Amino acid sequence: MRKISSIFILCMLFPLAGFAAGGPALDLEKADNSLEDKDSLKRGAVLFSNYCMACHSVKYLRYNRIARDFGWTDEEVVEAMTYGQNRSVDNVTTRMLPGVDEEVLGTKVPDLSLMARLKGSDYIYSFMRGYELDEKTGEWDNRLLHGTVMPHVLEGMQRHMSAEEFKQATRDITNFLEYAGEPAKLQRHDLGWKVILFLLVLILLTYLLKKEYWRDIKH
C-alpha cells in the first residue's frame, strides 16, 4: 500500500519538476498594474507612444479599438497618441521606416503586441527598470538582457522623476502592454461581474420560488 501511495505522490510531483526545469528564476519586480485602472491605461498609451513607438509597434491593435476600450473618442485617441498624424482605423505601428532598425541597430526591433503574454507583465516592468550603468565601460546595460541593443530610453525620465513617479510611469506602460496582449481581457472582467450578479439574482429568485411552492405543505 505504501508503495502505491509513494508512486502516486511521485506522479503528482512530476509536473512540478517540469516547471522547475524551466531555467533559472529571474529576479523580477512586481508590476502591480491593474487593467481596471483606465487612467493608468490612458497614461500608459501616451507614454508608450512618446517613448517606445520610435522603434516598436503593437501592430495587432488599432487606434479605434483603444478608443473604444479606454473611453476615448476616435479623435481623442489619435490626438493623444499621434498628434493627429494617424487615422483612427490605422494599426498602431512604429514611426520608424522599414529596415532602419537593422541598418542602425543591427537587429530587428520586436513587435510588442504579444510581449506581455510571452514574458509576463512583471518582466516588462522589470526590464524597463533594469538598466544599470556599467562602471567599467560607462555604458548602460540591462540586468535582464545583458548586452541588449535597446538603449535606456527612459534615462531622462528616470533622472527627472522621483522614484515613486518613475514606478507609476513604468507601471502605466506595462499596463498598456498587458492590455495590448489581450484586449478582450477588459471585456472579460466586465462580463465576469455581470455573470456573478446574474447568478446571485437567480439564486434569490429560486429561493423565493421554493418558499412559495412549499408554503402550504406541512413538512
How many CB atoms lie under 10 A from the CB of residue 39? 11
Please list every residue from 153 through 192 that binds ligand HEC, using CB under 6 A: 153-154, 173
Q: In whole angstroms, how close is the CB of 89 to ligand HEC at the nearest point?
A: 24
Instruction: Look at residues 59, 47, 157 and name the one whose alpha carbon lies nearest to residue 111.
Output: 59
Among 28, 41, 45, 55, indicate the residue that binds ligand HEC (CB under 6 A): 55
Q: Which stretch binds ligand HEC (CB under 6 A): 26-34, 37-45, 82-90, 143-151?
A: 143-151
- Is residue 56 annotated as involved in ligand binding? yes
Determine the Cα angle at 157 with ends 124 and 46, to 5°: 65
Q: Is 63 in the site for ligand HEC (CB under 6 A)?
A: no
Q: Nine-digit cell at 177?
A: 502592454
- 150 forms part of the interface with ligand HEC (CB under 6 A): yes
- Pair type for strands 131-133 and 140-142: antiparallel
With contact defined as beta carbons under 8 Å apart, do 149 and 107 qualify?
Answer: yes
SS3 (DSSP) at 142:
strand
Assess 58 for contact with ligand HEC (CB under 6 A): no
Residues of the shown chain interacting with ligand HEC in the complex, contacts defined by CB under 6 A: 51-52, 54-56, 105, 107, 109-110, 112, 115, 124, 127-128, 145, 148-151, 153-154, 173
